Amino acid sequence: MNRLDLVYAPALSPVFGAAALPNSLLERFAEKAGLPGSIVDDPKGFVPLYATELFLDLVQRERGQDTFLFDSLSMDPSERSQAQSVVGVPLPEGFTSKEALEVMTQTFNGHVTGARFSSEIQGGRIWVLRTTAATEWSDVWSVLQYNLSIMLAGVRRTLKSEIRPVCLRLPARFSSEHLPEILDLPVELDAGHFGLAFDLCDVIHADRMLGQTSASKAVTVANPLTNNLMAALSECMNEFVMSSPYSCSADRVANAFGLSTRSYRRKLAAIGTSHAQLLSNARLKNACRMLAGQSQSITQVAYELGYGNPGDFTRFFKGRIGCTPIQYKQMHTKAL
């Protein structure tokens, strides 16, 4: 369990669209879980998996409806209209059905770390599975049902078929009243995995070759986390800076990953960075963008980036760029 684990923020979009809860309440739940409150209005980039799974549980408890998170993908109008993606993750084309499910799970793995998806044939069934060991929330019903809904929607959209699952794998038994009708199935217990099985004949019957996309290209394009973890961590820090500029301490961000501050710092060091470096880079990137925009004063930019004293911001900026914020604005004004 790495705990510097991230997940694609748009994967939460159906929850926001279907929850029928005030944005202010959803923002409060997000911040309580450790996420930037801005994720409710603009989910983008990557966010800590630990905080994301805790957020799902908080929303499920507030709604009180046993199957709300499972149903959210069909309740959200935007998600319901998608045919070539699921929760913002592109789905493969140009493969046989068996190959497509393998590529689909590989693509999922490119949008999350800590949890692993897989597709495997066992007997006369094809299983689509996810590991449960990512965080302490990964085996609670709220997190299980949301992932199961993503799996089912992903399979159906990939195969372009309303195929039905034939078996369910769970880390523990749940009362049938918690299960949506389509998941009222025989259950196999597996402490390390959960997922859905589909009849192999049904999958083969849906077999098709769509387009000419190669498997290697599809996986490479669709795996932003696998391709550049550092860039994803930087995006994650950027959201904290812009959403809560005065609450970007190592303690707060470590908590969002479910880590002690010491462990958080150690894991960042192991990949060649630090909290201070990520924070400094995020502030600098946004400072340059805002100063180039010309509409904000130096004081406004400083405050929006979490500096109580504009002089501290000026020293930071000049130390990183080599000129003062005023000089930077002037250079951009002349270039216009």
Separation CA 1–CA 4 (nearest Å): 9
Separation CA 256–CA 9 (nearest Å): 14
- Residues 314, 320, 325: CA angle, nearest 5 degrees: 35
Distances (CA, A) of 146 to 4, 60, 152, 187, 227: 22, 10, 10, 17, 26
pLDDT band at 166 (very low <50, low <70, confident <90, very high): very high
3 state DSSP class of 243:
helix
Nearest to 40 by CA among 71, 58, 19: 19
Separation CA 165–CA 203 (nearest Å): 10
259-308 confidence digits (pLDDT tens):
999 999 999 998 888 999 999 999 999 998 999 887 889 999 999 999 99
Q: Longest Cα pair distance anywhere in the chain, in angstroms?
A: 70
111-140 confidence digits (pLDDT tens):
999 999 999 999 889 999 999 988 889 999
Whole-number pLDDT of residue 228? 78
Burial (CB < 10 A; 0-12, 13-18, 19+), residue 261, is middle
pLDDT band at 330 (very low <50, low <70, confident <90, very high): confident
DSSP 174-242: --GGGS-GGG-S-EEE-TTEEEEEEEHHHHHHT----S---HHHHHHHH-HHHH-HHHHHHHHHHHHHH
Burial (CB < 10 A; 0-12, 13-18, 19+), residue 216, is exposed
Taking the model in full, what pTM does it have?
A: 0.84
3 state DSSP class of 122:
strand
Evaluate whether 151 touches 193 at the Cβ level (below 8 Å). no
Residue 181 has pLDDT above 70, yes or no: yes
Evaluate whether 161 touches 142 at the Cβ level (below 8 Å). no
Nearest to 45 by CA among 93, 13, 83, 92: 13
Helix, strand, coil shares of the chain, percent, nearest 5, are 55, 10, 30
pLDDT band at 210 (very low <50, low <70, confident <90, very high): very low
More confident residue, 2 or 293: 293
What domains can be seen in the chain, in order of their start residue? 69-225 (no CATH), 228-335 (1.10.10.60)
- Tokens 């499920």 correspond to 60
Whole-number pLDDT of residue 207? 66
| Strand 6-8 with 46-48, pairing | antiparallel
How many CA atoms does the CB half-sphere of 128 hold within 13 Å? 32
| Strand 46-48 with 85-86, pairing | unpaired
Evaluate whether 193 touches 131 at the Cβ level (below 8 Å). yes
26-83 confidence digits (pLDDT tens):
999 999 999 999 999 999 999 999 999 999 999 999 998 889 999 999 999 999 999 9
Nearest to 115 by CA among 145, 73, 152, 143: 143
